[in-house]
A and B are shown apart, each in its own frame.
Chain A
Amino acid sequence: MRAVADREGVRDTGMEAVELDRRLAATWSTPPGLWGALSTVDHKIIGRRYIVTAFVFLALGGVLALLMRLQLAQPEARFVGPDRYNQIFTMHGSNMMFLFAVPVMQAMAIYLVPLMVGTRNIAFPRLNAFSYWMYLAGGLLLWIAFAVDTGPDVGWFAYVPLSGPQYAAGKRADIWAQMITFTEVSALAIAVEIVVTVFKQRAPGMSLDRIPLFVWSMLVTSFLVILAMPAIMIASTSLILDRLVGTHFFNPAEGGDVLLWQHLFWFFGHPEVYIIFLPAVGMVSSIVATFTQRPVFGYLAMVMALIATGVLAFGLWVHHMFVAGLPRLGESFFTASSMAIAVPAGLQIFCWLATIWAGRPIFKTPFLFVIGFIVVFVIGGLTGVMVASVPFDTQVHDTYFVVAHFHYVLVGGAVFPLLGAVYYWFPKLTGRMMSETLGRWSFGLIFSGFNLTFFPMHILGLQGMPRRIYTYQPEMPWSGLNMFISLSGIVLAAGFLLFFIDAIRSARSGPVAPANPWGASTLEWATSSPPPSYNFARLPVIERLEPLSDRSDPLGIVEGLYTDRRELLITGVVEARAQARESSVGSSIWPLLAALATSAMLIWSIFTPWAVVWGSIPIAVALIGWFWPKGDPEDET
């Protein structure tokens, strides 16, 4: 109670706007300089950092793709040898899945979810900082290893025994397996933050049926991450144990099982697709609502479809193993469940079409990417239904047909919406607008380049071209199409180059953006672009699904929060009634130190199991520093 008395003078009640901004900025802003950069816990700074890093990895992965296309343009080319090629395609897959696609989606959530639910920072802000440093360390580990010719060469799926102790010489496979640990730790951390932020930090009045669809999609995604990622961490850790300590998890001669790896990997690997795709669904819904100038048709159906997809995602993993020799009855079950997931996906497509039908579309770049998404993703979804059929799959499994299929799903289904989302939220991220002209050019190049590059791969696959081959013989009838694909790849690359040029140029010198340049109706547009360090000067009160849709009815606001400490409002899970005031932690260098200590332990443990023992001491020290009591009075409730 004494604390309450002490603080009486600094509540925001009735405070003038200028004074309030000054006080909040003093409390919330990140200190300038290097120290501030390393110790910040602001979700916007960390989110931006994450996004930029992920796009750098996208660019690097794209360069690898071009190298592969250069090699495959002609039969028996000798541009790279098999050893280098195997590293390149492994790096391309691992990089795109673990260092680009999942992190970039979660990064968008780190930036946007707290804004969309109307709070001042993400839950567990220091964990958020830790997560970024772990992600960066994992990415650096993989790429530095590749740079010194120790890049993994066992495929992004790292099937044993090829990745096991007997057939993968050196530390290449260990580096892959440990990179998994880094990225999964960081992904799990974000997933927990998102779940808690969405459940407990929504603005008062934002009941479950008023949560924006993007936030719903990130909530479901986060649950998928929490349920799926442990499987791959168990798998990769077992692999390291097999390789380093000599355990026998995957050794058939000692009672282990080769297929155990495949089950564990795909139990993660299939939900992974939805971990990438569901956030994109949320982005599409946001963009469709804004650019058709009406709410997305069938809010409840959309939410149910998201949840259904999330649940079904865990019942499909065996369709990656249809030719591994499993019992046919079991395979039929997985055919049915794999096909069933087309129903919620179809439902979402129909709802967007209905929204467009009933709305008044505005053809700006983000919306163009959404149109491209529908065109391309429907193809990817239909080929997905094809490979879900066991007999169909026996002919196309591990061929270029599958390469085409999952690029249609992942690039069409996730990267197109993501690029649209970048154009859409760029003003909120940077305070500047991207160029509409360059945006249209970049969309045109990417859309046409993508289809010209990947559609012919369906045909190559049916013509018998397997995946993951570094070359093919001149007598095979594949060289013409391969050359065509490689040339088309240049168009696609040019589109991405244009996008990067536009993003960098606009971030420096684009036109300054107003708070709500698109006339959107979700909460992130209620604050300035980019938002101040405290997001909202006064936390909003939500009375409908689209809080900004009615200009004549301004947002309600919360008053009475302290301004001299980082205070948030904790609300109920269902109705989002205010329950408590809670202080959010301030900047700290300890997350970085903890990440460094953890990285040292994880990398060291590739070489000796004792690293787990001795390496845990610095981690313990860092965690003690992280959680050291600061003598602050208990948060009042």
Chain B
Amino acid sequence: MGLLSTGALVSGCNGSQSALNPYGAPAIHLENLIIGIVALSAMIWLLVMVMLVLALRRGRGAETEGRTSEGRLTMTVSAAVAVTVAIIAGMTIASFFTTRSIGVPQSAAVTITVRAQQWWWQVIYAGSDGTPTFQTANEIHIPVGQDIRLQLESADVVHSFWVPSLAGKQDLVPGRSNDLLLRAEKPGIYRGQCAEFCGLQHSHMAVMVVAEAPSDYARWITSQRADAMMPADPDAASGQAAFLAKPCAACHTVRGTQATGTTGPDLTHIGSRQTIAAGLLETTRGSLAAWIADPQTLKPGNNMPMVPLTSIELQNISAYMESLK
């Protein structure tokens, strides 16, 4: 049921993950190019098919008719080749100009570092002029109408960052750093997914790009910079105690507590994110509990172990996680 409501939520944004639903300048350029080339190609295909059918029909009954001379055939074939060359040249030029329009500009409003790991996205917002950096996971917030430069790195194997509604994809290669221009023209939540095979859970490595008005974005930045809230609710408070006492804290960071693990995603504001486990489930107390109780059934092979917990501990930790807005 959680899954279904996630569906409603995720597709409640401007159409999900599709190259044909562009909401960013690069993706719009790309869609124009795609539609243009596909339409032209469809016409070429139809033309070839017409020729094929005519050739087949002509030959069938035409024992007595005069056959076309070799010379005329040569002319026709040469003309067809010349047309092919012209079309190919046209497509190459169109492709070249589109490439220029989606290039990463030197001066971007915001630079965000995305480090892909098996099988989640670590997102690092650099602090400019002395403000502290902070991390989040599987969710990137960007202001609408501005050029965003993503700096793409990988912590382990090759991944590929792809949010089709905003831009084409770009690989994250270990030992290298790639750039990608991201720009959203309209507020919304845009889903993306790892596009380069990266192992067991390649299928469940989604990322949400949340585009919002600059004022909302600034508010979000401020709230993310803050340390985690101390739980007010007694359930959540005992959840925090359990979280710190159990193996959870060895891998996850919750800023403002003793939990400083760096292996897993930073959980300081997990309650404010749209989804958990790289787009697997909507963030609710129930889905958090399901995930913590048995991560290997929901996402087999991922690096989060199944930590033995009592049902009370499970409830409390889920409550704590949910409270980390």
Contact = CB atoms under 8 A, between A and B. Distances in A.
A/B touching: CB–CB < 8 A = yes
Interface of A: 76, 81-83, 86, 155, 159, 161-162, 166-167, 252-253, 257-259, 292, 297-298, 301, 323-325, 328, 331-332, 335-336, 339-340, 342-343, 346-347, 349-351, 353-354, 356-361, 371, 374-375, 378-379, 382-383, 385-386, 388-399, 462-464, 466-477
11 contacts: A159-B197, A162-B198, A301-B77, A325-B176, A336-B92, A347-B77, A350-B80, A354-B55, A391-B29, A395-B30, A474-B4
A473 B277 CA distance: 13
Q: Chain B interface residue count: which class?
A: 35 or more
Given A257-B175, A258-B174, A323 B77 contact: no
Given A353-B48, A463-B17, 14 more contacts: A257-B175, A323-B171, A343-B85, A354-B73, A357-B54, A358-B70, A361-B60, A383-B41, A398-B197, A466-B193, A473-B206, A475-B7, A475-B10, A477-B11
Contacts of B179: 325
Interface string B137-152: 0000000000000001
Contacts of A353: 48, 51-52, 55
* Residue in A166, A298, A325, A347 with the greatest tally of chain B CB atoms within 10 Å: A325
A211 B190 CA distance: 58
Given A339-B91, A394-B169, A258 B67 contact: no
A519 to B, nearest CB: 16
A151 to B, nearest CB: 14
B160 A398 contact: yes
A387 to B, nearest CB: 10
A350 B77 contact: yes
Interface string B39-71: 001001100110110111011101100011010
A295 to B, nearest CB: 11
B228 interface: no
B164 A464 contact: yes
B95 A347 contact: no
A397 B169 contact: yes
Contact of A462 (B19, B84, B118): B19
B34 A361 contact: no
Contact of B175 (A159, A253, A472): A253
A356 B59 contact: yes
Given A297-B77, A371-B52, A476-B16, A385 B173 contact: no
B3 interface: yes
Contacts of A339: 88, 91-92
B41 A386 contact: yes
B202 interface: yes
A28 B212 CA distance: 81
Contacts of A332: 96, 99
Contact of B169 (A323, A379, A386, A388): A323
A170 to B, nearest CB: 13
B103 interface: yes
Nearest to B81: A347
Contacts of B68: 357-358
B261 interface: no
B98 interface: yes
Interface in B145-181: 152, 156-158, 160, 162, 164, 167-171, 173-176, 178-179
A375 B7 contact: no
B213 interface: no
Contacts of B76: 350, 354
Given A167-B199, A325-B178, A346-B84, A159 B158 contact: yes
A335 B100 CA distance: 14
Contacts of B176: 252, 258-259, 325
B197 A162 contact: yes
B127 interface: no
A392 B34 contact: yes
B229 interface: no
A167 B202 CA distance: 14
B16 A357 contact: no
B74 interface: yes
A252 B157 CA distance: 12
Given A325-B170, A325-B176, A463 B77 contact: no
B113 interface: no
B194 interface: yes
B235 interface: no
Contact of A394 (B37, B59, B170, B203): B170
Given A379-B45, A390-B99, A340 B88 contact: yes
A367 to B, nearest CB: 10
Contact of A398 (B10, B178, B196): B196
Nearest to A386: B37
A228 B160 CA distance: 27
Nearest to A324: B171
Contact of A475 (B3, B30, B37, B44): B3
Given A323-B170, A371-B52, A371-B56, A391 B158 contact: no
A397 B164 CA distance: 11
A351 B70 CA distance: 11
Interface string B94-116: 11101100110000000000000
Given A350-B81, A386-B38, A161 B44 contact: no
A385 B91 contact: yes
A342 B96 contact: no
Given A258-B173, A324-B171, A359-B59, A82 B201 contact: yes
B96 A335 contact: yes
A67 to B, nearest CB: 16
Contact of B99 (A86, A375, A383, A391): A391
Contacts of A351: 77
B250 interface: no
Contacts of A81: 300
Given A298-B74, A354-B73, A361 B56 contact: yes
A385 B88 contact: yes
A82 B195 contact: no
B16 A356 contact: no
B275 to A, nearest CB: 10
A301 B200 CA distance: 49
A318 to B, nearest CB: 13
A361 B19 CA distance: 43
B20 interface: yes
Given A82-B200, A82-B301, A395-B168, A374 B52 contact: yes
Interface string B1-33: 001101110110000111110000001011001
Contacts of A349: 48
A360 B59 CA distance: 5
B196 A159 contact: yes
Contacts of B54: 357
A389 B33 contact: yes
Nearest to B83: A346
B73 to A, nearest CB: 5
Contacts of B38: 386
* Residue in A385, A388, A473 with the greatest tally of chain B CB atoms within 10 Å: A473
B237 interface: no
A310 to B, nearest CB: 18
B64 to A, nearest CB: 11
A328 B152 CA distance: 17
Contacts of A342: 84, 88
B33 A375 contact: no
Contacts of B304: none
A83 B301 contact: yes
Nearest to B162: A466
Nearest to B203: A469
Given A258-B175, A391-B33, A391-B98, A477 B16 contact: yes
Given A347-B81, A350-B77, A358-B68, A471 B52 contact: no
B17 to A, nearest CB: 4
Contacts of A374: 48, 52
Q: Which 5 A-B pairs have the closest CB atoms?
A: A394-B168, A252-B175, A475-B7, A464-B17, A389-B95
A386 B201 CA distance: 29
B280 interface: yes
